[in-house]
Structure 1
């Protein structure tokens, strides 16, 4: 009798974790390599689960795709490792006539930048074809946090085979995916795409897995599966452990059966003892054919209060808007900083942008300083958020704190690597890329946390993204802009531009976009400053004329600063007619230079208006 036929009348038991047993044996290299280098170890584990009562075992191929094998330099061994794994499992299963599932694990986690969907499709197709060539009893897609990835590979592989396909999502929170989609709806969608068995595995222990299934209806055609972890994980002496009694797991298996689950196995932390307990507890119990779904009280997500001022991306579409960067100090004396911010406020600039430990050097927290500027001095802060310094926990907490403080203007950036800063040995986090951070912030705007949990209220962030036009091939940078727009960027802030030709080139390359751009202008302070930027800062090149003009005042600091402002004004002459948004970057807290440039922009706008010339990108940039 085939797998799906047996599930019509039975609750079947699957095996438990493979990695847990290998890890506990001290194996800390590529598990899939063992399929060829030491197949006896894998076969032994399969046999232990079969003796424990598992009706189904899965191949040791969770990470046997080219993308994951590349970590070990084994991306060219996909065929070899997958074929060997199926053969090992079928050899172990044959005497007891157990079913063998070819396992394909998820690739993405919270972040999507690890691999594109096209790369994932290619890797999964290659792996699936290798597994299918050895005639397994079905395919198991497990540990998929990214629902888009799972639906993509299911659609792809369903076209390749008529064998049973099991699809299992993983959740951070019981009953809801990380994109905020309810589990019941997701499983229904997987069924409609051709999955024969739909369910969950990993991350959650038995308690929360049962809780999730209480809200799941019985599928019309498919069957339900559950492979919970043994428990929530713990760490002892640097090693991951799971605290769970086998008997408790057996009791949980009965509860899962009572929720309509027909295929029950184990994930992280589970061992043959857990599977034996589940098999014993389920003995003689028929599958559930009718079920009363627990009604879940809907969580209301409130709208945020409308901001007291228009978002910057809306304001700049209608009128000249100037923002000014003023980095917080590297020391604790903030008096000069506050003085400078207050002086800039008097000019009527729209916001002070505050970097997030620029150049990987610690500064006074921009969240703290932004709060002080807003609460005490009524100055609007635009807070930069880097992916470098905070993991996902810290990023969400930081953003929730910004929302609570009423700081809604943010710039999502990757951040300079730590090796360029004061602590080159410090760890760079980079859990996500700047594009993924933009998407996550937009998810908060829908009232959904990074893990998919409702936040009870929508955030109201206006999200800026960075744009570096100082590259050799500007078209590539513009393509990146377009991707950031797809991720949800509301507007862009550029790196400083130092030539008139570059300003015109940026305009021509971006004039098709409707997303506003704030063009960056930074006054040079000295000849040494100009030489440093030209020769040492990646992507920035000054013209020979500019270098010569600054060089002429090499020994006169005051005159050099005046020349730097003069050059910046000449750049503003061009920028002001092409872009509605101007981003003044204050060098070394010398805010008087920024004030002079803001005054100049005001005077220039009067002249432009007197001539009857409208800004070329008033409705665009």
Structure 2
């Protein structure tokens, strides 16, 4: 009798965690390598779960794919580890006739940039081919947070085999996936894609897993599975632990059965003791054929308040728009910064932009200064937000705070690594890249948190992305812009450009894009700063003429300032011809130079209007 035939009339007990048991032995390296290094130990674990009553066991192959094995330099061992794993599991199950599932683990978390869908499918296919050659009783797809990845993987595998496929999602919040989809919807979509068993595993303990299934209707074709963690995790002396009595887990298994689940095992923190308890409670029970489904709680998500200002990405499509950058101070004296920001805004800047600890060196919080400028001085702020300094918790909290303050103009950037800044030993977080951050900000605009939970109200962010045109192959940089647009970028702000030819080249390479671009212009203040930019900043090159002109100024600071402004004006004149958006970067709080450039932009626009009227 096959697995699906058995599930028609029985509630089956699956095994528990393999990694947790190996962790208990002090083995914290690549657990899949143990299939070759310690095969007797892996077989012992399988036999302990079988002795505990497991009807179904899984191969020790959760991370046995090239992408995950590459973390250990073992990506060439995919075939070796998977062949060994299926051989060990089948040998352990031979005497008792337990079903053996070939396990394939999810790869993506929130970071989609770690691997493309094409790369994932190739690596999963490589692993699946080896597992299928070992003749398992089915495939288990587990710990999938990214529904797009699971759907694509399921479709690909369904085309390769008629064996049973168990497809399991993982949730951050009970009953909802990280993209906001309900568990009920997700499981029914997986059934429609060809999964024979649909369910959940990992992240949540028994209580929240049961709670999640209360809102799930019984599928009409597929069966349901659940592999909850032993409990919520805790840290004890720096080690991950799960506090859960085996008997509690066993009683929870009955509650899962009452919700229509027919295949019940365990994930992180579970051991043979947990599975033995589940078996004891489930052994005499038959599957439920009907259940009460708790009505889905409809969370009312309020619309965001209308923006006080027109979004920059809308204005710049129609007319001239100027962003000015003024870095917040690296000290506690703020009077000069406030004065500069006010003057720049009063001179006609649409926003005053503030970096988020640029060059990985601490400055006064741009959120604090942005709120002060907005509330006290009526200046519209645009704040950078980097992926470097905050984990996902901090990023969402930070963004929610910005929204509450009414600061809706954001530039999402990855951020300079800490090794270039004042504290090279500090940790760079980088939970996500700038692309994923853009996507997550847009998710907040839909009223959905990073975990998928409703926020009761939509945010209202206009999201800019960075553009570095100072590269050898501009087409590659433009391709990156296209990806950022796919992730939700509304417009782009470029790094400073120092040649007229580069501005024209940018225009020709990007004129097909819907998202507008603000061209960055930063005046140089001396020949030393010009040389530094030209020789030490990757990708930035000044023209020979500009370098010669700055060199001719010698040590004369006043002359250097005037020449730097003159060169910047020539660049502005070309940029204004091709782009509505101009981004002026203030060097070293020298906002007098920026003011001069703003005045020049106004003169250019007035001349253009005059020509148009005369024409």
The alignment's TM-score, normalised by the length of structure 2, stands at: 0.99
Aligned twin of 2:494:
494
Q: Distance in 2 between matches of 1:295 and 1:453?
A: 17
CA deviations 1:153-206 (Å, max 9, x no partner) are: 000000000000000000000000000000000000000000000000000000
Q: Where does the alignment leave 5 or more consecutive residues of structure 2 unmatched?
A: none
Q: Distance between the aligned counterparts of 2:297 and 2:567, measured in 1?
A: 63
Shift of 1:221: 0.5
Counterpart residue number, 1:178 = 178
In structure 1, the residue matched to 2:333 is 333
Measure, in 1, the Cα distance between the counterparts of 2:230 and 2:73.
Answer: 32
User: After the TM superposition, which residues 526-605 of structure 1 pair with which residues of structure 2 at under 5 Å, given as runs?
Assistant: 526-605=526-605
Deviations 1:193-240 (A, max 9, x none): 000000000000000000000000000010000000000000000100
SS at match of 1:464: strand
Distance of 1:60 and 1:321 partners within structure 2? 58
Residue 507 of structure 2 aligns with which residue? Answer: 507
**1:228 and 2:228 correspond:** yes
In 1, distance between residues paired with 2:103 and 2:554?
67
The corresponding residue for 1:477 is 477
User: Aligned partners of 1:201, 1:613: CA distance in 2, in Å?
Assistant: 68
Q: Distance in 2 between matches of 1:110 and 1:478?
A: 24
CA RMSD across the alignment: 0.8
Could you give the per-residue CA deviations for residues 299-331 of structure 1, whole angstroms, max 9, x where no partner exists? 000000111111010111111000100000000
Give the 3 Å change call, closer, same or farther, for CA 613–119 of structure 1 in structure 2.
farther
Aligned to 2:240: 240
- The C-alpha deviation readout for 1:453-480, integer Å capped at 9, x for no partner, is 0000000100000000011100110000
1:50-65 equivalent positions in 2, closer than 5 A: 50-65=50-65
Please report how far the alpha carbon of residue 297 of structure 1 lies from its aligned counterpart in structure 2 after TM superposition: 2.4
**1:73 positional shift:** 1.4
Q: CA deviation at 1:610?
A: 1.4
CA distance in 2, matches of 1:526, 1:74: 52
Are 1:350 and 2:350 matched, yes or no?
A: yes
Structure 1 SS opposite 2:375: helix
Match of 2:366 in 1: 366
Superposition pairs for residues 13-32 of structure 1, below 5 Å?
Answer: 13-32=13-32
CA distance in 1 between partners of 2:110 and 2:343 (Å): 42
Deviates more, 1:163-172 or 1:602-611: 602-611
1:619 aligns to what? none
Corresponding residue for 1:450? 450
Deviation at 1:609, TM superposition (A): 1.6
1:613 CA drift (Å)? 9.2
How far, CA to CA, are the matches of 2:314 and 2:608 in structure 1?
Answer: 22
**CA drift at 1:612:** 1.9
| Aligned equivalent of 2:196 | 196
Cα distance in 1, alignment partners of residues 297 and 570 from structure 2: 62
Matches within 5 A, 1:240-259: 240-259=240-259
Which residue in the other structure is 2:310 paired with?
Answer: 310
Structure 2 CA distance, aligned partners of 1:373 and 1:93? 69
Structure 2 CA distance, aligned partners of 1:613 and 1:444?
45
Aligned 1:343-492 pairs, distance under 5 A = 343-492=343-492
Q: How many residues align?
A: 614
Counterpart in the other structure of 2:86? 86
Aligned-partner Cα distance in 1 for 2:307–2:34? 58
**How far does residue 80 in structure 1 lie from its aligned partner after superposition?**
1.0
Offset of residue 137 of structure 1: 0.3
Separation in structure 2 between the aligned mates of residue 353 and residue 534 of structure 1, nearest angstrom: 25
Structure 2 counterpart SS, 1:612? helix
Runs of 4+ aligned structure 1 residues displaced above 3 Å come to none
Cα offset, 1:20, TM superposition? 0.2
The secondary structure found in structure 2 opposite 1:113 is: helix
- Counting only pairs closer than 5 Å after superposition, residues 517-528 of structure 1 correspond to structure 2 as 517-528=517-528
Inter-partner Cα distance in structure 1 for 2:34 and 2:341: 62
- CA apart distance, 1:296: 2.9
Partner-residue secondary structure (3-state), 1:96: coil
CA distance in 1, matches of 2:297, 2:138: 37
Q: Which residue of 2 aligns with 1:119?
A: 119
Give 1:611 shift.
1.6
Q: Aligned pair in 2 of structure 1 residues 541, 46: CA closer, same or farther (>3 Å)?
A: same
C-alpha separation between the residues in 2 aligned to 1:423 and 1:539?
25
1:609 alignment partner in structure 2: 609
The offset of 1:346, in angstroms, is 1.5
Structure 2 residue matching 1:22: 3-state secondary structure? helix
Shift of 1:554: 1.9
Map residues 40-189 of structure 1 onto 2, 5 A cutoff.
40-189=40-189
Report what 1:267 is aligned to. 267
Whole-Å Cα distance in 1 between the matches of residues 331 and 24 of structure 2? 48
Aligned equivalents of 2:321, 2:29: Cα separation in 1: 55
| Aligned counterpart, 2:276 | 276
Partners of 1:468 and 1:455 in 2: how far apart?
34
